[in-house]
A = this chain, B = another copy of it.
Amino acid sequence: MYDYQAPLRDYRFLLEEVFGADRLWDELANLYGVTPELAQTVLEQAARIASGELRPLNMRGDQQGCEWDDGAVRTPDGFPAAFQALGEGGWLGIAGNPDFGGQGLPKMLTVLVEEMFYSANTSLFLYATLTAGAAYCIDSHGSAAMKRLYLPKLYDGSWAGAMVLTEPHAGTDLGLLRTKAVQGRDGHYQITGTKIYISGGEHDLAENIIHLVLARLPDSPPGSKGLSLFLVPKFLPDSDGKLGARNAMHSQSLEHKMGIRGSATSVMAYEGATGFLVGKPNQGLAAMFTMMNYERLSVGIQGLGLSAGAYQGAAHYAAERRQGRSPEGAVAPDEAADPILVHPDVRRMLLYQRAHNDGGRAFAMLVGRELDKVRYSDDAAEREQAARFVGLLTPVAKAFLTDRGFDCCVLAQQVYGGAGYIVETGVEQYVRDARIAQIYEGANGIQAMDLIGRKVLRDQGATLYEFLDVLAAEAERDLADSNHRGELSDALQLLREVATKVIKESDKDARLAGAIANDFLQLLALTTYASLWARMAVFAPKDPWGNAKRETAAFFFARILPQTRALAAGIEQGLAGMDYPDNYF
């Protein structure tokens, strides 16, 4: 097992050079007092916690797992103390509302903190993500009293959060949900139903757990327009936050999962549990989407964090493990063999990971930047555009960073050879943990459908074209010296052409959008990565560290970006195979 070290130099380069945080944060009128110096302090502190507190519990969490005993759930040794440390350090409320004890730091910064914590211990940090997400949802949709009561406790880790949607017959299709909410004489609601796959639904990390539950009121319309959101606490607090009666809800069992075994996933039963309406009746799905969009970006960062964590071990192993000789002659003639890093195919695997990790990190920061504009800009037009860009890019961040993040964990494992398959080496846990990120919070196929359907076809490509214009303008402004300007320009043009064709053709056959959704998402992601890699190559310093960035950029443009041509060709024939007769699958 190697020690995890946060890539602080990369973070600083991205914040200060690539994204110009200093000026950007100055320009955001409603963001106060955040400077690059503060950002460095925050990142350094987070790096210490990631390496010192979270990482040492990672493998133990996997091997020990969670234990269910008559409705109570015991998390792995050390998890409760580490969760409390996150709360006490202010990390749960890092992006939270300062009026209620949050830190109010910009998302472009906090995505990096998230990455570190996911790299170090995804299972543990998931409890934190759900807690921060629940707080964000309450802050966005809850009443003033609700905010006063719940936010400070969620931000400081006294209480934790959970997001409660899925039922056995209703996963992607939330319109099928059956859990009921009936209003009682006290004005509150009784929630009754069974929910599955509830991460953090029950555990021993905090004295209370705040469930945000989607349920159906008696007189609601059928389908997804009849869902309302309820806050259902494990223990019912009084108005001062003092805990009262245990609510009528419990964990029926824990799931046995491929990975994230330190994260307790419950089947939850609500048996007339007391709940409080969040927002308006029948608008629960929209309110829940606030939380889900927050989680979706975070799950994308989970894919990145796991990939970046796995990479470090693989790079370390490649420098230490000796087998064979360099094709250019021995580099360590006094040793029995050279480090495997000399083999071009090993370098290929590491470069592929770097290209995606650095590119994915920049992509997450780009989404963070747009989220910050939505929240902190005083320019309505800027806010409006940024909100649309967030809508466009969030499904891409979720799906592409987790798909390629998983692939990169697999490649990291491959670098180890046989040792990578052995549990004690640690990298196989990264592969198993990363796998869930492609599935939950909306499976990646759903993200792709969201992108092509809601974000591209619905406005006939207007937001997409606007986004491509911004990338082209940035290139015009900043990338005059770039080697990769021609390739970037071709990529932007290719995506524009493909999108135009898809928009035109999709009216003719209702199946087309779905058939090409996955490939279209990849095409958009790679094209955006091209823009980000061209920037990174230009802004990297003229020293060996900067040369490493430029070599990675060269690898990205030469060996990865050409995938866009294959994707474009496939999209053009998107209906091929769709007439396959059902009963021969």
Q: Which A residues lie at the B interface, using CB under 8 A?
A: 166, 169-173, 176, 196-197, 255-259, 315, 318-319, 322-324, 327-328, 336-337, 341, 343-351, 354, 406, 410, 413-414, 417-418, 420-424, 428, 431-432, 435-436, 438-440, 443-445, 448-449, 510-515, 517-519, 544-545, 547-548, 551-552, 554-555, 557-560, 562-567, 569-570, 573-574, 576-585
State which of B255, B319, B418 has its C-beta within 8 Å of the C-beta of A439.
B418
CB distance from A480 to the nearest CB of B (A): 22
* Contact (A577, B562) CB under 8 Å given A349-B445, A413-B435, A515-B347: no
CB contacts (< 8 Å) of A445 on chain B: these are: 343, 345-346, 349, 414
- The answer to whether B578 and A347 have CB atoms under 8 Å apart is yes
B435 touches A417 (CB 8 A): no
Interface pair A341/B166, CB less than 8 Å apart: no
- CB-CB nearest in chain B for A444: B414
B435 touches A166 (CB 8 A): no
Contacts of A562 on B, CB cut-off 8 Å? 565-567, 569-570
Is the CB–CB distance between A345 and B514 below 8 Å?
yes
CB distance from A161 to the nearest CB of B (A): 20
Chief secondary structure at chain A's binding surface: helix
Instruction: Out of B324, B510, B577, name the residue touching A554 (CB < 8 Å).
Output: B577
When C-beta atoms are compared, the residue in chain B nearest to A196 turns out to be: B418
Asked if A554 and B566 sit within 8 Å, CB to CB, the answer is: no
Contact of A417 among B337, B443, B517 (CB under 8 A): B443
Contact of A323 with B576 in the complex, beta carbons under 8 Å: no
Write 14 A-B pairs (CB below 8 A) sorted by A numbering. Answer: A328-B511, A345-B449, A347-B515, A347-B577, A414-B445, A421-B439, A428-B435, A551-B580, A554-B576, A555-B576, A555-B580, A558-B569, A562-B565, A565-B566
Which of B258, B351, B547, B576 is A432 in contact with, Cβ under 8 Å? B258
* Residues of B contacting A583 in the complex (Cβ-Cβ under 8 angstroms): 544
Contact of A256 with B422 in the complex, beta carbons under 8 Å = yes
Tell me, rounded to whole Å, the shortest Cβ–Cβ distance linking A455 to chain B. Answer: 16
The answer to whether B345 touches A547 (Cβ under 8 A) is no
Give A41 Cβ to nearest chain B Cβ, in Å.
25
Tell me if B565 and A577 are in contact (CB < 8 A): no
**Cβ-defined contact, B548 with A344, below 8 A:** no
Known contacts being A421-B257, A444-B414, is A585 close to B350, with CB within 8 Å?
Answer: yes
Q: Give A176 to B324 CA distance when docked, in angstroms.
A: 9
Query: Which residues of the other chain, B, contact A351 by a CB distance below 8 angstroms?
Result: 577, 580
Contact: B514 with A344, CB < 8 Å? yes
Smallest distance from the beta carbon of A143 to chain B beta carbons, Å? 32
Shortest beta-carbon distance from A488 to chain B in Å? 15
Cβ-closest chain B residue relative to A559:
B570
Tell whether, in the assembled complex, residue B544 and residue A570 are in contact, meaning their CB atoms are under 8 Å apart: no
Whole-angstrom distance from the CB of A582 to the nearest CB of chain B?
Answer: 6
Task: Tell me, rounded to whole Å, the shortest Cβ–Cβ distance linking A350 to chain B.
Answer: 6
CA distance A554 to B421 in the complex (A): 37
Task: Report the minimal beta-carbon distance from A325 to chain B, rounded to whole angstroms.
Answer: 9
| A32 → B minimal CB distance (Å) | 37
Chain B hits for A197, CB < 8 A:
418
Contacts of A566 in B (CB 8 A): 562-566
The 5 tightest CB contacts between A and B, nearest first, are: A555-B577, A344-B514, A558-B576, A558-B573, A548-B584
Please tell me if the beta carbons of B580 and A166 are within 8 angstroms of each other in the complex. Answer: no
Q: How far is the CA of A448 from the CA of B343 in the complex (A)?
A: 12
Given contacts A344-B511, A421-B257, contact A551 B579 (CB under 8 A): yes
CB distance from A146 to the nearest CB of B (A): 29
Known: A346-B445, A445-B349. A171 touches B555 (CB 8 A): no
Residue of B nearest to A449 (CB): B345
Of the candidates B336, B349, B350, B439, the one whose C-beta lies within 8 Å of that of A176 is B336
Chain B residue at minimum C-beta to C-beta distance from A576: B558
Minimum Cβ distance to chain B for residue A562 (Å): 4
B440 touches A323 (CB 8 A): no
What chain B residues lie within 8 Å of A344 (beta carbons)? Answer: 511-515, 517, 578
Known: A258-B423, A414-B438. 16 other contacts (CB 8 A): A171-B417, A173-B323, A327-B510, A345-B449, A348-B518, A349-B445, A432-B432, A544-B581, A547-B584, A548-B580, A551-B576, A551-B578, A558-B569, A559-B577, A565-B566, A565-B569
Question: In the complex the two chains form, what is the Cα distance from A416 to B324 in whole Å?
Answer: 42
